[in-house]
Amino acid sequence: MSKPVINAKTEVYAILGDPISHSLSPVMMNSMFNRLNMDKVFLAFRANLSNVDLIMQALKMLDLKGYVLTMPVKEHVLKYLDCLNGEAEIIRAVNCVCNVDGKLIGYNTDSIGFWNAIQEANTNNRSINKVFVLGAGGFAKAAVAQAALQGVKEIVVSNILSEEKYVASFKKFLERLVQKVSDVNVKIIDWDPQLWIDDLKDADVVANATPNGMRGQGDLHIVFPYEATNKDAIIFDAIYEPLITDFLAKAREYGFTTVEGLDLLVHQGVCSFKNWTGIDVSPAEMRSVIIKFFQKNE
């Protein structure tokens, strides 16, 4: 079956953010559109806080069918949306938007993508009762929210952000969270590896939600107390550049089950694709597309 030719009826989707040239979303989405012979195309637009207002107004007038949003516009675009789904309402940040008959609906697929990636690695179907999150930024909120919504009762957050605006933002997030999930206990501790030890002993999931380790920069793999961590814990890193961070590489040396940032990217991509098309695609197939793209461009 031949691929559709881009024409006047082709539905357009886009990712908005800055920087944007490194994004893998166009690779994933266009590959799936082509495989399913769908008359759709996915583009990348540079959008930042200086131009996103004009861009959102223009894209809505142009009737784009869906967006992926990345830094730094995940929170700024909220005022252009007509409604938010449950996770996005709690987190107050979106990374997926659906245009349904001109109505813009916001989702946070990082949130469910995180949980689905963890469950894919949880091959023994162990109960997840305690999650330890490193960081308190945007992705940390997504991870904490989804863990609570999935019934995790105990969540520990180690906050590396000391600026007042970040602390206030996280506290407001927690207020919204407990309104939705009243029986979750979220504890915030300082960024001090010695303070982590007691909680790591019985954590079922440890998630790095910071940029520590991106492009090989950072000391998390040096300071993290692997020896004190529950040996059955799943170790997750949101970073996918490099694919295997030093944090995850060392965790594997200690025998931990690990989840890569690429797994998060794939699972949130699967969720976004389903939101737009109603079609379930295989995470394994999306992952294969990305790996082949990397190999071709090495």
Q: What residues does 84 pair with on adjacent strands?
A: 106
Tens digits of pLDDT across the chain (298 residues): 567 889 999 999 999 999 999 899 999 999 999 999 999 999 999 999 999 999 999 998 999 999 999 989 999 999 999 999 989 999 999 999 999 999 999 999 999 999 999 999 999 999 999 999 999 988 999 999 999 999 999 999 998 766 677 778 888 999 999 999 999 999 999 999 999 999 999 999 999 999 999 999 999 999 999 999 999 999 999 998 899 999 999 999 999 999 999 999 999 999 999 999 999 999 999 999 999 998 887 6
pLDDT of 298 reads: 67
Catalytic residue among 9, 60, 65, 74: 74
pLDDT of 2 reads: 64
Q: How far apart are CA 259 and CA 251, in angstroms?
A: 10
CB-CB contact of 9 with 40 (8 Å): no
| Matching residue, tokens 């206030």 | 168
Residue 73 phi, psi (nearest 5): -110, 5
pLDDT of 159 reads: 85
Q: How far apart are CA 294 and CA 27, in angstroms?
A: 10
Q: How far apart are CA 144 and CA 163, in angstroms?
A: 20
Q: How far apart are CA 123 and CA 113, in angstroms?
A: 17
65 is catalytic: no
Structural domains present in the chain? 11-108+268-296 (3.40.50.10860), 122-259 (3.40.50.720)
Please report, for residues 48, 68, 201, 220, the alpha-carbon distance to residue 71 in angstroms, rounded to integers and kept in the order given: 8, 10, 33, 23
How many other β-carbons are positioned within 10 Å of the β-carbon of residue 103? Answer: 10
Residues in the chain: 298
Residue 235 phi, psi (nearest 5): -105, 125
pTM as predicted: 0.93
Q: Which of 40, 33, 37 is nearest to 6 (CA)?
A: 40
